Amino acid sequence: MTATELSEATLEGRFDAVVAAEQRIEPRDWMPDAYRATLVRQIAQHAHSEIIGMQPEGNWLTRAPSLRRKAILLAKAQDEAGHGLYLYAAAETLGVDRAELTEKLISGRQKYSSIFNYPTLTFADVGVIGWLVDGAAICNQVPLCRCSYGPYARAMVRICKEESFHQRQGYELLMTLMRGTDSQRRMVQDAVDRWWWPSLMMFGPPDDDSPNSARSMAWRIKRHSNDDLRQRFVDMTVPQAEHLGVTLPDPALRWNEERDSWDFGEPDWSELKKVITGQGPCNAQRVERRRAAHEDGAWVREAALAYAEKKRSAQ
């Protein structure tokens, strides 16, 4: 064994010890290449999701039914942008560049959450996204606050604090619609029917088809399996649906006394595969919109730079 190999082993041993002791890995620490690559991929995908996630709801900004709803929706979209930026900043601590990540998103080389490839057909979708999509996101994200990589964990703490507003405004919006007319109640039920299964798919493929999970759990990036988180989400959501007075579109949904949990049906995994591989209802439109925003903004980035340069040289 050469000296460098030995030191690599020592470094890896130290890294493992820090992770095992529930301490945090910080940006300039030595870390295995695969740990770094996994984090870059996951954090970038997460950041992209926040940014793309502004689009489905942004669709309703100009048509919100009241100034109150419009102000709330605007604040929510602004939060999503903020979350994207916290996460890009966390990814940059790993030695990648935000511009490079954006380039990978708009060229289709990096992904974002499959959920944002579904269309928002009515204003009830805004409520259901807050309730179910942000609810599922919270289930996924709360454990990430204890992720072994410090900057990611810290970004997640900020995000989770803000995410609760998103879920509650959605649920309140739906309660308001449910107190309205029959057609408003039908609108809510229709939105729930369309978003329920895609929300369950947000937790990823079933455990026996999730090849990278075990390694991410060993590295304490991931804390719970996809299926565990999905179950947790279902158990949280069923009583909320009852309170709201909507039906979750799953005939297999029933209380299991023994497990102290809700049994539920199997999502259509072929649909998830299709949406992930670019064949969802809105994939092309979402990426195209992001590309246009990026390219249309190029002159602003250049002008700001030229202005800063001019001020510097005038000093």
Binding site for another protein (CB under 8 A): 14, 26-30, 75, 78-79, 82, 85-86, 89-90, 92, 97-100, 102-103, 154-155, 158, 162, 298, 301-302, 304-305, 307-308, 311
Q: How far is the CB of 1 from another protein (least distance, A)?
A: 22
Residue closer to another protein (CB basis): 98 or 273:
98
| Residue 153 CB coordination number (10 Å) | 18
Q: How far is the CB of 269 from another protein (least distance, A)?
A: 36
Q: How far is the CB of 92 from another protein (least distance, A)?
A: 7
- Amino acid letter, 173: L
| Residue 263 CB coordination number (10 Å) | 14
Q: Bridge partners of 262?
A: 255
**Range 297-301, long-range pairs (CB < 8 A, 24+ positions):** none
Residue closer to another protein (CB basis): 91 or 201:
91
Q: How far is the CB of 287 from another protein (least distance, A)?
A: 16
| Residue 56 CB coordination number (10 Å) | 20
Residue closer to another protein (CB basis): 24 or 69:
24
Rounded to 10°, the helix 67-92/98-106 angle is 110
Q: Quick one: tokens of 219? A: 């590295």
Residue closer to another protein (CB basis): 99 or 217:
99
Q: How far is the CB of 143 from another protein (least distance, A)?
A: 21
Q: How far is the CB of 154 from another protein (least distance, A)?
A: 8
Q: How far is the CB of 85 from another protein (least distance, A)?
A: 6
Which of 248, 245, 213 shows the shortest CA–CA distance to 229? 213
**Sole residue written with tokens 């926040």:** 50
Residue closer to another protein (CB basis): 26 or 207:
26
Q: What is the DSSP letter of 66?
A: S
Contact present, 248 and 257 (Cβ < 8 Å): no
Evaluated on CA atoms 227, 281, 285, 54, the torsion sign reads negative
Half-sphere CA count of 187, side-chain side, radius 13 A: 20
Distance CA 304, CA 306 (A): 5
